[in-house]
Amino acid sequence: MAGMPIPVGRLAAFTVLSIALHAITLGAYVPGSAGSGADIAAAPVLHAILAPRDSGNAPAAQHDSTSPAQAGAQSATALDHQQARGGAGPDMPLPDKWYTASELDVRAQPLTPEKLDYPAELGPLGPAATVRVTLFIDERGFVRKTQLVDGAPVAAFDRAALEAFRDVRFSPAVKNGVPVKSQKLLELDFRPDLAIR
């Protein structure tokens, strides 16, 4: 048998058939081929939230007669409650949430001194004013944004309040042992007698 020649016609037929089947199979998955682009564009986006496993103390899963629609509604409700607690998991903070002081374990504290200057254009006998601003401090301690909450009647005070914390570095706020983004509400007093000293 080892010395018998393989018919060239059969070999050529199998080669052509193999190439045709491979071309058909690959054509279904090549981007831009008929049918594949529309199917990919119409596919729904999958969102998943990872949570730690239970420690093994949980009871074994029980089978129930919940329909798939009811199960989906229950899991959506559980996700809403989980997000309302302030985390993607039981102990993890949300990545894009700016936490308020009451939600934090440790608040952000300035590492470099702030310089609150009385506006020079108002002179040494200008009016006093109080301005409230919110600082948005990222998880590395940098001020990413300042927002005016209650401004003063004179715009120079608002500008000075917003500029005072532009370059101040903070120790980041902490929640559940993890540095997080936070917001810090400040009330700044401008008095001309403080500017003279």
Considering the domain architecture, whether residues 191 and 106 belong to the same structural domain is answered as yes
pTM reported for the whole predicted model: 0.51
Output the pLDDT for position 10. 80
Considering the domain architecture, whether residues 108 and 188 belong to the same structural domain is answered as yes
Domain CATH code at residue 119: 3.30.2420.10
Average pLDDT score over residue span 127-154: 91
Output the pLDDT for position 59. 38
Domain assignment present for residue 116? The answer is yes
User: How does pLDDT run across 4-21, given as a tens digit for each residue?
Assistant: 566 777 888 888 888 888
Output the pLDDT for position 115. 82
Is residue 179 scored above 60 in pLDDT?
yes
Is residue 88 within 8 A of residue 95, CB to CB? The reply is yes
Q: SS3 breakdown of the chain: % helix, strand, coil, rounded to 5?
A: 35, 20, 45
The Cα–Cα gap between 155 and 190 comes to 13
Specify the higher pLDDT residue, 179 or 113. Answer: 179
Considering the domain architecture, whether residues 33 and 105 belong to the same structural domain is answered as no
The Cα–Cα gap between 157 and 149 comes to 13
Output the pLDDT for position 61. 37
In the chain, what is the straight-line distance between the N-terminal and C-terminal CA atoms, in Å?
Answer: 109
Q: What is the number of domains present in the chain?
A: 2
Output the pLDDT for position 47. 57
Output the pLDDT for position 191. 86
Considering the domain architecture, whether residues 37 and 105 belong to the same structural domain is answered as no
The Cα–Cα gap between 181 and 179 comes to 7
Output the pLDDT for position 74. 44
User: How does pLDDT run across 28-87, given as a tens digit for each residue?
Assistant: 654 544 544 445 555 566 655 655 554 444 333 333 444 444 444 444 444 444 444 444
Domain assignment present for residue 178? The answer is yes
φ/ψ bin of 191: left (φ > 0), alpha (ψ from -120 to 50), beta (otherwise) = beta
Is residue 86 within 8 A of residue 103, CB to CB? The reply is yes
Domain assignment present for residue 29? The answer is yes
Output the pLDDT for position 180. 95
Domain of residue 114: give its range. Answer: 101-196
Domain assignment present for residue 46? The answer is no
Domain assignment present for residue 48? The answer is no
The Cα–Cα gap between 59 and 142 comes to 45
The Cα–Cα gap between 109 and 131 comes to 20
Domain assignment present for residue 67? The answer is no
Domain assignment present for residue 63? The answer is no
Average model confidence (pLDDT) across the chain: 73
Domain assignment present for residue 70? The answer is no
Where residue 102 falls among pLDDT bands split at 50, 70, 90?
Answer: very high
User: How does pLDDT run across 160-173, given as a tens digit for each residue?
Assistant: 988 888 889 999 99
